[in-house]
């Protein structure tokens, strides 16, 4: 059984790492497109991720890889219809990865518990009010441009300052719409309108993003910038690089990790967590004895 939503939302304080397993029910996602279109295959994958220690299963019915075309709300719901409800019965929190309020509402009615919006509530004016109405956790992600064109020529003056300010502004917008700040999670949007250097700068500045006071989600799994660093062209071969990013950003304060490879990520982060808890206990004991 997965941990509760309150535990997920408190992860930046408790330091308990939260692993979010990716389930793409799309024909064209960059790493696993087409593998889980059928309900039986998707449910089997969800069961596997739950058994491997996923705290959240993130289901998306629209690919947002660079160059991807948009998918209507009706088509997203059609793709999800036979998959999302049974996944929600596995006992692990389910997040719906969509920018459309109609899809999010349908998914919440079907048992999903979290909204993961790559547009941070900008694409559909109904998304923030929906999150407020339902009182559900809401992931707000930074993206420059749209998936179809975002990687053509991304530019920033200061990528860390601009992304941090954007996320701060979206937290303010969410609060203005009635979403409690404590129910928000932020995501710097690695690969969403960023060059390799932009991605690395954001990763190096994870602690600055954590200064926003809400949980930070890192979605680096198998992404192209890891391949650019390592020379590994096949996304499935980028596990080691993905683990390096997860571990480095966890140590810098991030607490949620959206990944394709649940078991190795859970194992790596659990070791770091236990070491951090031990170090915290030792530090506290040392202070108490002075």
Q: Which pLDDT does position 64 carry in this prediction? A: 77
Question: Domain 10-288 belongs to what topology?
Answer: TIM Barrel (3.20.20)
The helix or strand, by DSSP H or E, that contains position 22, with its residue range, turns out to be strand 18-24
Alpha-carbon 121 to chain mean position: 15
Provide the residue ranges of all domains of the chain, joining segments of one domain with +: 10-288
Model-level pTM? 0.92
Question: Of residues 280 and 136, which shows the higher confidence score?
Answer: 136
Structure confidence at residue 69 as a pLDDT band (50, 70, 90):
confident
Helices (H) and strands (E) in the chain, counts: 13, 8
Alpha-carbon 223 to chain mean position: 13
| Residue 74: partners with Cβ closer than 8 Å, 6 or more residues away | none
- Interval 194-251: pLDDT, tens: 999 999 999 999 999 999 999 999 999 999 999 999 999 999 999 999 999 999 999 9
Phi, psi of 75 (to 5 degrees): -70, -40
Structure confidence at residue 271 as a pLDDT band (50, 70, 90):
very high
Residue 149 has pLDDT above 70, yes or no: no
Task: Find residue 216's DSSP bridge partners.
Answer: 186
Task: Find residue 57's DSSP bridge partners.
Answer: 21, 94
Q: Which pLDDT does position 176 carry in this prediction? A: 98
Q: Which residue has the tokens 């951090």?
A: 276
Q: Which pLDDT does position 194 carry in this prediction? A: 93
Two tokens at 127? 């998304």
Among 44-58, 88-102, 137-151, 158-172, the range scoring the smallest mean pLDDT is 137-151
Instruction: Return the active site residues.
Output: 223, 258
């Amino acid at each position: 059984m997965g941990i509760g939503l309150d535990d997920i939302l408190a992860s930046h304080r408790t330091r308990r790492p939260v692993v979010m397993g990716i389930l793409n029910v799309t024909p064209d996602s960059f790493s696993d497109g087409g593998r889980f279109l059928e309900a039986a295959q998707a449910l089997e994958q969800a069961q596997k991720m739950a058994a491997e220690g996923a705290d959240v299963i993130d289901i998306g019915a629209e690919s947002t890889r660079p160059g991807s075309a948009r998918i209507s709300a009706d088509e997203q719901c059609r793709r999800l219809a036979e998959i999302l409800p049974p996944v929600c019965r596995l006992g692990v929190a389910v997040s719906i990865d969509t920018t459309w309020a109609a899809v999010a509402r349908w998914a919440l009615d079907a048992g999903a518990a979290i909204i993961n919006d790559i547009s941070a509530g900008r694409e559909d004016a109904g998304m923030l009010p929906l999150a407020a109405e339902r009182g559900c956790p809401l992931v707000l992600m930074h993206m420059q441009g749209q998936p179809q064109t975002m990687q053509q020529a991304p530019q920033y003056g200061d990528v860390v300052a601009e992304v941090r300010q954007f996320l701060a502004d979206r937290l303010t917008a969410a609060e203005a719409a009635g979403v409690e700040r404590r129910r928000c999670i932020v995501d710097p949007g690695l690969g969403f309108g960023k060059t390799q250097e932009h991605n690395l700068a954001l990763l190096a500045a994870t602690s600055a993003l954590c200064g926003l006071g809400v949980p930070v989600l890192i979605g680096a799994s198998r992404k192209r910038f890891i391949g650019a660093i390592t020379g590994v062209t096949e996304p499935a071969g980028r596990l080691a690089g993905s683990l390096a990013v997860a571990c480095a950003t966890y140590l810098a304060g991030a607490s949620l990790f959206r990944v394709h490879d649940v078991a190795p990520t859970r194992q790596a982060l659990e070791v770091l967590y236990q070491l951090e808890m031990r170090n915290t206990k030792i530090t506290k004991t040392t202070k108490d004895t002075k």
